[in-house]
């Protein structure tokens, strides 16, 4: 009896360790599954293709320029973990800004390299420098927008900008999280994710330091990133912030709400009027 019990315990332990090892080696594929760009979207929407060297990777991206607006704000967009950012070429019309920029993560679209938390944060800084140095765009005119996985990238970029003594116009976080560690812990409570997760994306600890205007757009029925994770982040934010919870929408259809883009445009107008007032310009 004791021998059989010992074998059962050994078998269960072995199976559990195998599951843990599977999580360790497969987590990058779960967090960074990759996405291709829609060729029909690329051919149907006028845009400027971009290439950017970032350390050991060549990033592909896009930009759009809008002449029919008085708002001089520029958006730098970071997408979700399986998002085709080329779809934002069409949706960027809804933002009411003068310029829109977005780059594929490593291993996404035509970008080469392997994605990781460290590399995505480094690449975000390279994109910011591309805008501010090569394009000579003032940081105070840039709004960083991050969706889902990209919210963590946006938060870390905002931290780097502030540490560098510069200021962004604002940050928009769509279906954000406090940390991927906390989200993974909720989805896999039976795994020791604290010791297994290689890409924790801890936004919560950073939020307490950031003095930049922020808009949190949270899906009330989100099962991928349950809403309390975004609410935790919003409550910890040091700077001025607005939080909108879309009660009847989930992780993937949040932007189908009829109030989504009006609220986003309202925030953009508010923060842009603040930096334009500081510059002595007329507000739109």
pLDDT at 247: 96
pLDDT-derived band at 83, boundaries 50, 70, 90: very high
pLDDT of 277 above 90 = no
Give tens-digit pLDDT for 224-262: 999 999 999 999 999 999 999 999 999 999 999 999 999
Q: Percent of the chain at pLDDT above 70?
A: 88
Q: Is the pLDDT of residue 14 over 50?
A: yes
Q: What is the pLDDT of residue 50?
A: 97
CB 141 within 8 A of CB 74: yes
Contact at 8 Å (CB) between 169 and 86? Answer: no
**Is the CB of residue 67 less than 8 Å from the CB of residue 268?**
no
Domains of the chain as residue ranges with CATH? 32-278 (3.40.50.1820)
Give the pLDDT of residue 282: 43
Task: Name the CA radius of gyration of the chain, rounded.
Answer: 20
Instruction: Report helix angle 117-129 to 149-163, nearest 10.
Output: 60
Buried b (16+ CB within 10 A) or exposed e, 152-185: bbbbbbbbebbeeeebbbbbbbbbbbbbbbbbbe
**Tokens describing residue 35:** 């996405």
Residue 283 DSSP SS3:
coil
Note whether 210 and 237 are within 8 A (CB).
Answer: yes
Distance of alpha carbon 254 from alpha carbon 172, whole angstroms = 14
């Amino acid at each position: 009896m004791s021998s059989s019990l010992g074998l059962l315990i050994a078998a269960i332990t072995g199976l559990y360790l195998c599951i843990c090892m599977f999580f360790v080696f497969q987590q990058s594929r779960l967090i960074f599954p990759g996405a291709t760009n829609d060729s029909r979207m690329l051919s149907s929407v006028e845009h400027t293709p971009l290439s950017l060297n970032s350390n050991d990777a060549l990033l592909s991206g896009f930009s759009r320029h809008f002449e029919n607006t008085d708002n001089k704000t520029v958006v730098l967009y970071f997408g979700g973990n399986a998002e085709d950012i080329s779809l934002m070429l069409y949706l960027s019309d809804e933002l009411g800004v003068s310029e829109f920029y977005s780059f594929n993560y490593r291993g996404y679209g035509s970008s080469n390299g392997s994605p990781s938390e460290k590399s995505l944060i480094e690449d975000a800084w390279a994109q910011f420098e591309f805008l501010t140095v090569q394009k000579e765009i003032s940081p105070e005119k840039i709004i960083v927008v991050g969706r889902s996985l990209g919210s963590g990238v946006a938060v870390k970029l905002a931290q780097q900008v502030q540490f560098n003594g510069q200021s962004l116009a604002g940050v928009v976080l769509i279906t954000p999280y406090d940390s991927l560690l906390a989200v993974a812990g909720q989805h896999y409570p039976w795994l020791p994710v604290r010791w297994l997760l290689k890409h924790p994306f801890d936004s919560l600890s950073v939020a307490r330091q950031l003095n930049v205007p922020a808009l949190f757009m949270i899906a009330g029925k989100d099962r991928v990133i349950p809403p309390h994770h975004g609410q935790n982040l919003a409550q910890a934010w040091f700077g001025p912030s607005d939080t909108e919870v879309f009660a009847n929408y989930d992780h993937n259809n949040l932007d189908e709400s009829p109030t989504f883009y009006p609220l986003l445009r309202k925030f953009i107008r508010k923060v842009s009027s603040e930096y334009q007032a500081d510059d002595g310009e007329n507000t739109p």
